Amino acid sequence: MDLELRGKRALVTGGSRGIGRAIARALLDEGARVVIAARDGEAVTVAAKELAAATGSEVHGVTVDTREDASVDALVSAAIGLLGGLDIVVNAAARPGAVPDVPGIAGVSSDYVLEEINTKLVGYLRVARAAAPHLVANGWGRIINISGLAARQTGTIPGSVRNVAVAALTKGLADELGPKGVNVTVVHPGATRTERTAAIVASRAAADSISEVEAEKALYGGSLIGRIVEAEEVAAVVAFLASPKSVAINGDAIAAGGGSPRAIHY
């Protein structure tokens, strides 16, 4: 299937590693021109060079701190300058969820929650706010917010709160921007293989005196597909949502975690 992304101009935050990097690669493979952005300037520069070498496509790395209005505004201006405009925005700049040292409400630090909200929810809002006028001016655009299945189940309070909030943000943006040609969706990855996974699996294997295959199954085998999802598999979903062919999907949440047993979402 031709996703009709050739020549489209995309900005991917959190694009130096993990799911964000896989998304950038998927868009590049479909012929898009891409700016990736991340807080670590050295990492995003290296990632851009590696992606360009792997795909032969146009990709630029820009440093951004999505916790700051001015930094985000500068990023969007830079992306438009590098690409000549903007069609697609993927928000993926967020820290992996962390389990608190103290379980339950006692371990929920106010400062930590506020930082999570500022980084993920408000960070995504900043990027969307800066980019939206340009997408609306095109009469066509896509904004895809990467959230997580913590929005649909309890685990940690900060993890669920930030992801539910991103889903609410997505729907609000879709209601406003959808009639102007801009589709906005949210993707909820579950357990996904990234650069951090191998160390987590090895640690579990050592702690339980089991093989790494057994440890990975114990950690990530609870989905309906019975295994961890690869970052590239999440990226394939996002690439479709970024394409003109996804026009029928707007304001909705797409789970990309391999399927959750027993839960019904409608």
**pTM of the predicted protein model:** 0.95
Of 65, 93, 25, residue with least CA distance to 232: 25
180 in Cβ contact with 248 (< 8 Å) = no
What is each CA distance from 207 to 100, 101, 155, 194, in whole angstroms? 19, 18, 22, 21
Tell me: the pLDDT tens digits for 44-93?
999 999 999 999 999 999 999 999 999 999 999 999 999 999 999 999 99
Chain position carrying tokens 């019975």: 226
- pLDDT at residue 98, rounded to an integer: 74
| String of DSSP letters for 154-192 | -S-HHHHHHHHHHHHHHHHHHHHHGGGTEEEEEEEE-SE
60 in Cβ contact with 46 (< 8 Å) = no
Q: Which two tokens stand for residue 87?
A: 């069609």
237 in Cβ contact with 27 (< 8 Å) = no
Of 12, 22, 40, 58, residue with least CA distance to 49: 58
Q: Which amino acid is at 6?
A: R
Q: What are phi and psi of 5, to 5 degrees?
A: -100, -5
- Helix (H, G, I), strand (E, B), or coil: what is residue 9? strand
pLDDT in single tens digits along all 266 residues of the chain: 899 999 999 999 999 999 999 999 999 999 999 999 999 999 999 999 999 999 999 999 999 999 999 999 999 999 999 999 999 999 999 988 777 778 889 889 999 999 999 999 999 999 999 999 999 999 999 999 999 999 999 989 999 999 999 999 999 999 999 999 999 999 999 999 999 999 999 999 999 999 999 999 999 999 999 999 999 999 999 999 999 999 999 999 999 999 999 989 88
Going through the chain in order, the beta strands assigned E by DSSP cover: 9-13, 33-38, 59-63, 88-91, 141-146, 182-189, 192-193, 229-230, 253-256
What do you get for the CA distance between the two ends of the chain, in Å? 28
29 in Cβ contact with 54 (< 8 Å) = no
